[in-house]
Chains A and B, each alone.
Chain A
Amino acid sequence: MSIKSEEISSLIKKQLEHYDDKLNIDEVGTVTYVGDGIARAHGLNNVLSNELVQFANGSYGIAQNLESNDVGIIILGRFDDIREGDQVKRTGRIMEVPVGDALIGRVVNPLGQPVDGLGEIKTDKTRPIETQAPGVMDRQSVKDPLQTGIKAIDALVPIGRGQRELIIGDRKTGKTSLAIDTIINQKGQDVICIYVAIGQKESTVRRQVRTLKRFGAMDYTIVVTAGPSEAAPMLYIAPYAGTAMGEEFMYNGKDVLVVFDDLSKQAVAYREISLLLRRPPGREAYPGDVFYLHSRLLERSAKLSDKLGGGSMTALPFIETQAGDISAYIPTNVISITDGQIFLESDLFFAGTRPAIDAGASVSRVGGDAQIKAMKKVAGTLRVDLASYNELKSFAQFGSDLDQATQARLNRGRRTVEVLKQPLHKPLSVDKQVLILYALTHGYLDSIPVADIQRYEDELDAYFNSNYNDLLEHIRHTGDLPDEKKMNQALKDFTDGFSTSNK
């Protein structure tokens, strides 16, 4: 195939016809300092806070500190070829990221540029990364459940659509897996998921994306990643960019789940920026507005009123603690902002209780209203069972002469812990969860050896699937328990037929 030169010239001619020959009137300043992802510029007297500015090399920055003599700017993108004395000009805009359906299934950086090598993202819609959160009249209370597919969460610390539930724990306690499983479980639930990886190793992100792909979860997921090799400003804006992408769907009446993995790294990045911008350090060297950093972010997750389309954005922020210290600065801040927390404990994790959720320390402040009736009925006593079991457990190690009631409670407790264990990437639908918890709370598991419980659960699923699908259907559709007589009869039949493995 040959290309005629006339065609090219006519094409260029056509393009040039649209060329707008206007004088450029810019407001400029001069860079006086550059380094570590921030720059200071002299001049730019009329620049506004948070305004986007452009450097001579084409990189953009955000004006952060407006002082009497200079402006502190965080640089987004390349800063190794910005020099002292370069010009920096105002753009009159604020930072925006591309949003819309075209982003679904993609991996992007905090500027909305694709990093997955799948070509450009075709969308003309953008949203500012910083916006005002919906006000009092724009919201309604959380009422629909967001099923995570994890028994321990859906039963003990239920999450509603529009809630902000903190996931907190030491490193390597399964925080990320919890989020990935939750995203996997949103398949077919009409929920758009946004996974924001902040300072996570590129290899880890790659692995998570592959996992999501394997379970078909990338069909409704956007991954925003700012790796550890990026400069601090990128890590700082990543959650805001992710939220802006979510807001587009939320304000169009859709349900969104956004995961921030993790906000402690974002706080560290913000601390770095603030110290370089010479803002006064406070506790743990964090700047004074580190609370506002997280509160204004999480406040944008909401359940919108019906007038605004009734969309929702559920946020699962992560905080990594050091040696289980939840009274450090950032953990206490985020705990007080969110509507509850799921506390993951490394001791439990290494003891094999996975997910390693500490039922005593985990709470959900609003999710209870969102639980379906059937789940409320079967999970009501679970928390108390676990608490009394944990109390008796240590006590029972000393003496063997325990009365009947204590024995029974210990028995039930051991089985409760066992039932709440769940293998990786195997989220369970709510009807199945109700089924096994019903069996537990009605004592059908008391005669089953602890080692057999996992197998019991699997076989029970299969048995109900083939013989009593109508009962499961009833739970799914009405959200309430079916006729207890039928339920009990079915469970009794199955339990009687279950053969325990020989020891």
Chain B
Amino acid sequence: MALSKDQIASRYGTALFGFAQDQDCLEQLHREVAVLLTVLQENPDFLNMLSDPVLDKDEKRHVLDSVIGQFSTEMQGFLRLLLEYKRFDAVIDILQNFNSHYDRLKKIAHGKAISAVKLSDEQLQKVSQAYADKYGLQELQLTNEVKPEILGGLILQVGDRRIDGSIQTKLEQIRTQLTAK
């Protein structure tokens, strides 16, 4: 049975993470992964080309080598390995899996703060600090999303946890309470 993308991501991601820890270059790799992720997401054609099964392997290897010169040798080796094993189509999932391992180790979480009006950086900082203190995290990295239809308040979504303090939800609750017998 073919491996699912999740399974591939988990195996390669765990391997890369373990390798980085063994080689003592975790921080370095983490920075490189972040760069790589933005580059790959901005250039989907590049990714498509490298994961295309029709193109010649050596040619793809040449293209890859010409791009990754500035990365560390560890990262270069890893990317070549992915190409060799024809797993380049899963590279984004793999890197994200690596990131989740990293976050777990460093007690970092990523989340979304949904508000009706745009929040200032200072406000975001306060919210994430409060959340991080409450749930024992080192750091919470929040992105702000503006949704006028929630009217007011704040919805905080971190992983599976959703803290809903929006006016819209409160009105909805009042509605159900008033209409319930």
Extra inter-chain contacts (11) besides given A19-B174, A28-B157, CB under 8 Å: A12-B178, A21-B170, A23-B163, A23-B165, A25-B163, A26-B162, A28-B160, A28-B162, A69-B4, A69-B6, A87-B162
The reply on A89 being an interface residue by CB < 8 A is yes
- How many residues of A sit at the interface, in one of the four size bands? 20 to 34
A196 to chain B, nearest CB (A): 27
Q: Interface stretch among A40-48, A446-454, A490-498?
A: A40-48
A209 to chain B, nearest CB (A): 26
**A69 contact set on B, CB distance < 8 A:** 4, 6
The reply on A68 being an interface residue by CB < 8 A is yes
A189 to B158, CA, bound (A): 59
> Is the beta-carbon distance between A43 and B174 smaller than 8 angstroms?
no
- Most chain A CB within 10 A, of B6, B159, B160, B181, is at B160
A69 to B6, CA, bound (A): 8
**A26 contact set on B, CB distance < 8 A:** 161-164
Can you list 13 contacts pairing A with B, beta carbon distance less than 8 Å? A12-B178, A15-B177, A16-B174, A24-B162, A24-B169, A25-B162, A25-B164, A26-B163, A26-B164, A27-B160, A28-B161, A43-B159, A45-B159
Which positions 8-67 of chain A face chain B at CB distance < 8 Å?
12, 15-16, 18-19, 21, 23-29, 43-46
The reply on A120 being an interface residue by CB < 8 A is yes
**B178 contact set on A, CB distance < 8 A:** 12, 15
Q: Which of B4, B164, B174 contacts A23 (CB 8 A)?
A: B164
A21-B170, A68-B6, A69-B6 known; A27+B177 contact, CB < 8 A: no
- How many residues of B sit at the interface, in one of the four size bands? 10 to 19
> Is the beta-carbon distance between A19 and B177 smaller than 8 angstroms?
yes
**A28 contact set on B, CB distance < 8 A:** 157, 160-162
**B138 contact set on A, CB distance < 8 A:** none
A15-B178, A68-B6, A69-B6 known; A24+B160 contact, CB < 8 A: no
The reply on B173 being an interface residue by CB < 8 A is yes
A18 to B180, CA, bound (A): 13
A23 to B163, CA, bound (A): 7
The 4 closest A-B pairs by CB, nearest first: A24-B164, A28-B162, A43-B160, A27-B160
A200 to chain B, nearest CB (A): 31
A15 to B161, CA, bound (A): 30
